[in-house]
Structure 1
Amino acid sequence: MPFEARMDGTLVFGYLDTASSERAVAFDAVLVKTASPYAAEMRPERFGAITTCDIVGEQKTQVVPHASVATEGVDTLLGVLLAGEVTIEQGGRQCALSPGDFVLYGGGRPFRLDLGRDYRWLLMRLDPSTSTFLQHTPDAMVAQELTRSPGGRILSSMLVELADRGHRLGPLSKGEMGEHVTGIVRTLVREYAGRHTPPVQAHRLKHILEHIERHLAEELPPARIAAAHHISVRSLHALFQQRGETLGDHIRRRRLARIRQDLAHPGLAHLPAYAVAARWGITDPSYFGRVFKAAFGVSPREFRRWSPPGAAGE
């Protein structure tokens, strides 16, 4: 990954953009400030739609985003401290982490990351749909409330193990691990949002989610869903916004989960991938290919090639 020494620090490009070695096309760039020339060991990995960078350094280090057009592509980042100490500040909130703690923050917004000596910091760029999912949540999530919850401790343990052993996994297993991380993050967000959702709305949302699940293979325009539950389309969208995602994102995510399950089913191996997608309401082959790869990090064909026989399951 390219470095550029400057008077005010060192610019680091492409630490999460594993497909690029050129600063002109790297979507991520940060300014790193140290007392002596910057040096760190960086090991990038990809877990499906999630990109990561395991960073080990000995110097006290301060990191701020580099103000450039390229950084606009950086969405939600998840950082987990594996060794040392770190403090992060964003949006007027400050959070001090101990080893095993993690934090969610916006990579494209101003932040300051202060790393102590002898640190190890695992940084993840979450997939685009999860970043969209998190845009509707309050900044209070940057605080340690998530990390300290039971689900947060489960995620923390998983991330620590992933940092140490994830590079040994095969392509399909890496993709599945990325999905598991995404699922747990979404679960934590929903739990957080659920504590702030009135019981009546939570009950209504539960029935809407069940309705969507039963009718995934059919057309699901918002007006039809709203009418089935005697609410306005505006109220329907508001329910999902409070949940931390859009209605369309939820339907697409659930359809892709069913498609992925069917693509791994040996009894459906004779069907082309686009035909499997059409069974679940995604009828445009080119669109299907794009959203499948964005969600799982591999194309439908690659997924089928790497998926072992009988690996059907969500």
Structure 2
Amino acid sequence: MLNETVFRSEDVPAADRLSYWAEHLEQAHAPLHLSSEHAHDFRATQRVWDLGAVSVWSATIQQLVTRRTPKLIRQSDPEMYHVSLVVGGTGIGSWGDNEVVYRPSDLVINDTSLPWEIRRGRTTVTSVGVEVPKALLPLPRAMAGRPVPRRMPSRDGIGALLAQFLTQLSADTTPYQPSDGPRLGTVLTDLVAALCAHALETGNTLPTETHQRTLVLRIKRFIQEHLHVPRLTPADIAAAHHISTSYLHRLFQNEEVTVAAWIRLQRLDAARRDLTDPALRSTPIHAIAARWGFPRAADFSRAFRTAYGTPPKDYRCQARGSLQSTGS
């Protein structure tokens, strides 16, 4: 069996558990700032296996906000990559202007040399992970110093290999001797290096501004493809792109309108085009409205008049008259 150490917040009085956990993380990982809704009686458990220079752990943690600030980085930086597999629960990670939502089966990649914040959800989060010194990762020289993606899938490719290795190792270490630890650590180091190199080679990392603009364009395309869904909400859009609703709204701060307003404008414009389409002259206005996400005819009529200055019925008649005049 591999050498194992178990840490439990319940080993100290309830009032001391959050500070005890912060001390444990500082010694085992890096200095962090912690806050929790359960600070009065914080519950967390972590099992750690020593694999030489590499360590593997599994943890179950209550709602917790973990911050790695520039000040803490200046105080101490072990220069480690931290890769964890989310087994249960959700969380939100933030790095500067970038944010991503984590869900079960996602791989989370962290860097002790960069400031970040992880906000675990209100339910208990379970994860298994590995910490590898950066100096051990045999990444190509051209990739050194480039930021790796913060969220990666684990359902196929190298991500699946790493996830399977971590899951099986944490589930049962009895087949291994302590002397196997460094050898297993070498395997994990190679897998983490391969995962990072693959992500960088395939162009999954972009400058912040480019990433945000690309994300906005993807979101707009998604909205246009789902305009027919009556209850398409910002929360739905955010979930489909693995970001929080607040981050979605921040992305649209540089746009001319809010997310909700952009959805409405796209729906109205699609309906306007249908109203002027000769092929749809026999289609009732309420049917066109419903097709583009307006199930209530009165709501559609009011919104259309506000946007175009005339009711949809009059707009259709005017468009029909213009076509007839052009035809003559």
Please give the TM-score of this superposition, normalised by the length of structure 1: 0.50
Of the two, which has the highest radius of gyration?
2
